[in-house]
Amino acid sequence: MGTLGLIKANLGSILTQRKIETAFAKGDNQTAQELISQSIVKILKAGLTPNQRRNLDELEQLHRQEMQDIKESAFQRGWMRYGTPNLSNAMDEVLLEVAERIKQAREEGEIKRLK
């Protein structure tokens, strides 16, 4: 995992979090969901190795809905921290859950173990 990429993604989340909060406050759920999706893509790109990203692509082809559910569930779990929204925490939660699912799929032979 690229530490610099993770730091940049997390720092960028501060501005994005404010945009998401504003969108929710205005009732603009579509914009909020788009910003959330973009944030998830950024953290996965920054936090996964190239082989993990290829494995994720393979898993998404095999289990699209499951992977979407994992990302959404992890995001929701991490979104609220101490009663306030926390995009950085939500993105970290998504990254951890996706990495764990990739590991599980590799161990079970569901996807190719890339070197």
Q: How far apart are CA 66 and CA 60, in angstroms?
A: 8
Give the residue carrying structure tokens 């393979």.
Answer: 58
- Report the pLDDT averaged over residues 27-41: 92
What is the number of other CB atoms lying within 10 angstroms of the CB of residue 57?
12
Q: Which two tokens stand for residue 30?
A: 């579509």
> Does the global pTM surpass 0.95?
no
pLDDT tens column, 48-85 = 999 999 999 999 999 999 999 999 999 999 998 888 88
Residue 112 has pLDDT above 80, yes or no: no
Instruction: Please name the residue ranges forming H helices in 1-115.
Output: 3-25, 29-47, 50-62, 64-79, 87-107
